Amino acid sequence: MKRRTFISRVALGATAIAASPLVSCSTGAKNLKISLAQWSLHRAFFEGKLDAADFAAIAMDTYGIDAIEYVNGFYMDSARDEKFWSNMKDRAAKAGVKSLLMMVDDEGDLGAAIIDGMGRLAEYAAQSDINIVIENHGLYSSDAQLIANIIKEVNLSNFGSFPDFGNWCLSAKWGTTQGDCDRVYDRYQGVSELLPYAKAVSAKSYNFNEQGEDTKIDYYRMLEIVKRSDYDGYIGIEYEGEVLGEHEGILTTKALMEKAWNSIP
């Protein structure tokens, strides 16, 4: 299981980056809190059309979004550079943006002894006030019941889930359900099963019809599940479609989230 995600309350990398709590008790009506996953712009960053160091300002200035989710793959050369992360902290603060989490790939396999491995990682992370979460992202990680049981077995307050609206393919390494998959976990059941342990939620989106609705995911049903749960944190836009450009895809996802959320009493 190669996709793990660090959610940091007070630190990112070796340098402190403040973040408000992602989960709180729900009292009365919930507001929709939208964050932006950096992967939504992965083509632009990898192709050099955008600078990953500018991500916070891009989220606020281009999309009016005040919370972001980083991806470690854009910062591999700066992983241990405290000066770089101190500057990133300052840039996010200047932009008025919260740094919520970092998605971590290709840092080793923990799945061989997952309860032991995740338990040790969470215990280590707790010393720096960091949360560790698992995102459904293919193979065993897309078995929500299994992951929920692992979280209960580890039984540490800083270890939880990161339910993604997509990525429910049980027979593919990276788990995308944008295309065909011969073994798929029910996405609505999966999100429901992981929400009690969620410290973040990812609104994966693919392609859209003429009404601006995702052709794979029923956003009305999915957001109703989230809205009626005890989860009251951010929901991150993670556009991964192949038809609209990244900019248009983010805007369309944002509009769909707002429309669906506001339609739910």
What pLDDT tens digit does each residue of the chain (265 aa) get? Answer: 333 443 333 233 322 222 333 443 343 579 999 999 999 999 999 999 999 999 999 999 999 999 999 999 999 999 999 999 999 999 999 999 999 999 998 777 766 688 998 999 999 999 999 999 999 999 999 999 999 999 999 999 999 999 999 999 999 888 888 888 999 999 999 999 999 999 999 999 999 999 999 999 999 999 999 999 999 999 999 999 999 999 999 999 999 999 999 999 9
Q: What is the pTM of this model?
A: 0.88
In angstroms, the Cα distances linking 139 to 72, 167, 170, 193, 220 are 21, 9, 4, 17, 27
Q: Is 175 left (phi over 0), alpha (psi -120 to 50) or beta?
A: left
Instruction: Give the chain's largest Cα–Cα span.
Output: 49
Domains of the chain: 4-263 (3.20.20.150)
Ranges of H-type helices in 76-228: 82-95, 114-126, 144-154, 187-194, 219-227
Residues 198, 220: contact at Cβ < 8 Å? Answer: no
Residues 174, 138: contact at Cβ < 8 Å? Answer: yes
SS3 48: coil
